[in-house]
Every structure is written in C-alpha cells, then in structure tokens.
Structure 1
C-alpha cells in the first residue's frame, strides 16, 4: 500500500491519486524537561497523523499527510534557549498559503492535527475561511481527546507521564533515562479562576517550572505509550474516514 506521507510519494503516484482529505500536522520546537527532545511535539503529532491516515486508507479513505510545521506559538517560553516561536499572525499567513494551494487544486477538506498546547487555530480558521469559504478546515489536538485518564496515573500537560510514555514507545533512543528527568513540579496561579480553566492568562514558563516539565514523568513506560498510541490511532482513523467520505455538496449537518 502507498505511504500516507506526501513526502514519501512521487509525482507519478500523486497525479493519478484521489485525495479527499489533507492532514497538516502542526507541532512546536521547545524544551521538554531534561529527558525529552526539543522535537517531542513534532515526533508525536507526525506519528499519530501518519498511522491514523494509513489505517483510514486501509478502510477506503483517500487521506494524505503533509510534512509537519515544526514551530508553534511559544511566546511564554522565549527566555528558554533555542525555543522557536511562531506568532499567531505568522501561522495565519502560513495557513492562508496552504489553503490557497488546496483550493486551486480543488481539494476541499483540511484537518490541522495539533500537537502543541500553545497553538490555537480556531480564530485563524475563521479568518482563512472568509477568503476560502469552499474549504472545510477542521482542527484537533490529540492531547485533548477524552479517555487518556484510563492510561495514566500522574496528572500533567508537558513532558509528563503521557508524553514521556509516547516518546518511550515512538522514539526510545531520544529519551534519556528517567532518573535524569526533573520532577515536573509546577506552580499554580494565585488567582483561582485561572487554575480552574474558566479564565485564562499566559503562563510564563520559567516562572512556573524549574525543568520546563509540568507533571511527573516517573511512571511512564513504553507499554503505556503503545496502548495510548493505539487508542489515538483508532479514534483518529475513524474521524479521518468520516471526513474523507463526507460529501460537502450535501452539507455538514443532518
């Protein structure tokens, strides 16, 4: 079976291939505690996207995964060495160009697979859709999928048990021994509403965490990572299958 990665295909294959849905993985380049690589978000979102698309294609979908965008919104981490920031305005320009390319080629469905908590594409999609209303642009963040509590015991959201487990499964050679990891202890806001999630303010990363982690990684394992990865792929492959089969001429709603 052909690869679901565009980067691994050639023009002879692509020019005769039906493409109903394009996936754009979007990650970030940032520190992930002491034990995970700067490219953690990119490795994860690319692997989830590719495996999910492949599984969807095996069930009759026509899905293709673009190369990942490796930089995300990291305005709260700019004082951390070699963290690379894309402003939301930069992301908007990139998405405009991707949308224009797809629109000219009569490809009308795009799914942005988000792998970084600092990225928020909702308002960007609203703006892009004013110029390209014929496109269906969706976005999803794998780390927001419900059910992850079934796989992990320690709460967290950055270089924690879940991310560390995924990387131990996907890229074990890039993960340092867990004894070298920081504890992932983090500070809370003094204003309770900001901790409860119904109010928001940007976190200044070096004020929140000494090691850039939020959540303990010490209970992580490759076995947990594989189980969680398989769950993500099953959920996303079904989502991609449905998007691929969707007839936009008949509308989005029942």
Structure 2
C-alpha cells in the first residue's frame, strides 16, 4: 500500500448543501420555505478490507441527497438534515467499529430532532442507513411525538426491505441460493458509483452463505420486512468470515447508480406521501 499523500483528493461533496455545510443564514432561508427535513442515520463499522468504515454514512447521505434534489424539482422543498453518524454495531472484533447502545442512539436522535424542531422543523424523516439502528429510531420517534404533543412528526424510513427485493434483479450472476449483504455486491456497487477512490477492490473477497427461507410467513428479520428480531453481538463466528457477506466482485458503478436511483426514488415517494400527502395516518 502506498503511503498517504496530502495532495490526494479522496472524494468530492456534491450539492445540495446539507445542514452541516450550510451557513446559519443559508439555513434560515431554507427554513423560510419548508418545515420538513430528512435526517440520515448511519454508523461507523467495519466493511471488511475494501469499503470505508463510514460506508453506511456515505450511502444513506447519498440516498437523502438525491431524494432532496428529486423533490426540489417538483417544487417540494425539504431540508437535507444533519447526519447522525453512529449506531449499534456487531462483529466488533474487526478494527474501527464505533458501537453505541440502542438507548444511547435513541437519546442522541431525540436531542438532534429537538434542536431541529427548535429552529422550526416540524416534520422529520429519519432515513435509516444501518439495520441495527431501527429499534432505537422507532423508540425515539414515538417518544418525540408524545413529548411534543404531536407538534413534531417523526417518520422512520427503512429502505432495506426494498433493496433486498432489488438485489436479485440487478445482480443476475449471483450464485443460486446465495445471499448478498454486508459489504457485498450492493454496498460495493454503491460506493464505486459514489466515491470510488475509497474502495479497495484488491482487498475484496467473496463470502457465500446459503440463503434459506422458513416456510412460516414473514419469519425473516424485521429490517428486511419480516416479523422476527433476534439480536446477536456476533453475527457470523466463522473465522473465514472477514466482514463481507456476499459477492463484492460483482459490484459495478453502473449497478450502483441503478440502486441509488431506485432507493432515492423510494425515499422521495415516502416523503411525498407522509410529508406532503394526507395529514393523518393510522398506525397498526
């Protein structure tokens, strides 16, 4: 590996500006046009040797960025909110993981949302970018609505069930019965499309786990649209597992663009329906 250089440009930040990138005056101008914001919620965790530790932050912020642009073209103004960069993670035997408790994430999320609400944001979409964060975000959303007397609406958007359905369609070369997940073809393709200089394909290694599905309806994980939640601190104990689940060798920038377009369009649909559509909804 070559030594790092101070002249290296690792990646560029594309517009529109997020909450962190705006000046206070610029943000005030945004708040004069809308009281809705999308907040990316990611994590810092290992993605084996070939993807950056901040993968989840990069990709959920990109999904939100594209969604904000899509909505702006329809004259639907939404603020690109600040990224919440940490969450609960598993497999901490790999270097670099920053693991926080779900209860800590719930409190952190509430604090961030209340600060946005103080400045005039009354509807917040929490765009979940890391599966283990889902429970904490749901708790935070419920408590915020109660504590503000419904003055603050908080919506949790989980795109993982959708991407699980997309992967077999875009990766037609997956081995029969194989799964693709953490650090695999999908995540690799998205990072190749977004920030290719951060990808070390020379360190990518496919790791195959046979995909099994119970005959019981919806007996798969909640994050993938099922009805079962089984938390584990270490998801795969096989020593040959190096943080990749799936086939990163199949990832291409072109497929990454396809996935980003689909996922950002899905998030835009959620915002249209729940932020600009019917004002009331019934939660089962």
Alignment TM-score, normalising by the size of structure 2? 0.77
Contact 2:36 2:275 in 1 (8 A): yes
Larger deviation, residues 17-26 vs 198-207: 198-207
1:160 aligns with 2:190: no
Structure 1 residue aligned with 2:119:
105
Contact 1:184 1:216 in 2 (8 A): yes
1:79 aligns with 2:93: yes
Q: How many Å apart are 1:225 and its aligned residue? A: 0.8
Q: How many Å apart are 1:238 and its aligned residue? A: 3.1
1:3 aligns with 2:34: no
Greater helix share, structure number: 1
RMSD over aligned CA atoms reads: 2.8
Larger deviation, residues 129-138 vs 10-19: 10-19
RCO higher in structure (CA 8 A, sep ≥6):
1
Structure 2 residue aligned with 1:128:
144
Structure 2 residue aligned with 1:180:
203
* Per-residue Cα deviation, 1:36-80 (whole angstroms, up to 9, x for no partner): 111111110011101111110121112011221111111x32332
Q: Which runs of 5+ in 1 are unaligned?
A: none
Q: Which runs of 5+ in 2 are unaligned?
A: 1-14, 222-226
Contact 2:128 2:156 in 1 (8 A): yes
Structure 1 residue aligned with 2:243:
212
Q: Which one of 11, 22, 25 corresponds to residue 40 of structure 2?
A: 25
Q: How many Å apart are 1:199 and its aligned residue? A: 4.0
Q: How many Å apart are 1:4 and its aligned residue? A: 4.8
Contact 2:110 2:140 in 1 (8 A): no
Q: Which one of 147, 151, 156 corresponds to residue 170 of structure 2?
A: 151
* 3-state SS, counterpart of residue 63 of structure 2: helix
* 3-state SS, counterpart of residue 85 of structure 2: coil
